[in-house]
Amino acid sequence: MRPGALSDRTERESWGPYPLILAGAVIGVLVTFVVDPRWGGFTLGAVIMVAAALRFAGYGGAMAVRSKVSDVITLAGFGFVLVLTSLLLYNNELKALILSLLGG
């Protein structure tokens, strides 16, 4: 084993899935501006929920900001809200159903 092999491996692994999540977020923003805000929000929410799943599975790397539990809860909650908001954006029937379930 050469002298710097372990440090090279550790430096590469320290990024974890961060580049994948960043690329997905860029694609989501592009979809928002080019295709449709609904699909862009859905894409961003899905990418953030994938980040939550990866963080839950133990792949932290540069995504690990706080404790594992708080990262997963924050990412999953934010991703869910983005997906739900994108689904409600132009869907009046679904809005009415959710409001009736909430008692409004």
Per-residue pLDDT of the chain (104 residues; tens, 9 = 90+): 555 554 444 554 577 788 888 899 999 999 999 998 899 999 999 999 999 998 888 877 766 778 888 889 999 999 999 998 888 888 888 888 888 888 86
pLDDT the model gives residue 11: 52
Sequence-separated (6 or more) residues with CB below 8 Å from residue 15: 61, 62
pLDDT the model gives residue 3: 55
Alpha-carbon separation of residue 100 from 15, 74, 80, 85, 87 (angstroms) = 45, 27, 20, 17, 17
Find out whether 18 and 65 touch, Cβ atoms under 8 Å. Answer: no
Query: How far is residue 47 CA from its own chain's centroid?
Result: 4
Q: Sketch the domain layout of the chain as residue ranges.
A: 5-101
Q: What is the pTM of this model?
A: 0.74
Q: How far apart are CA 26 and CA 11, in angstroms?
A: 24
Cβ atoms within 10 Å of 43's Cβ, excluding its own: 22
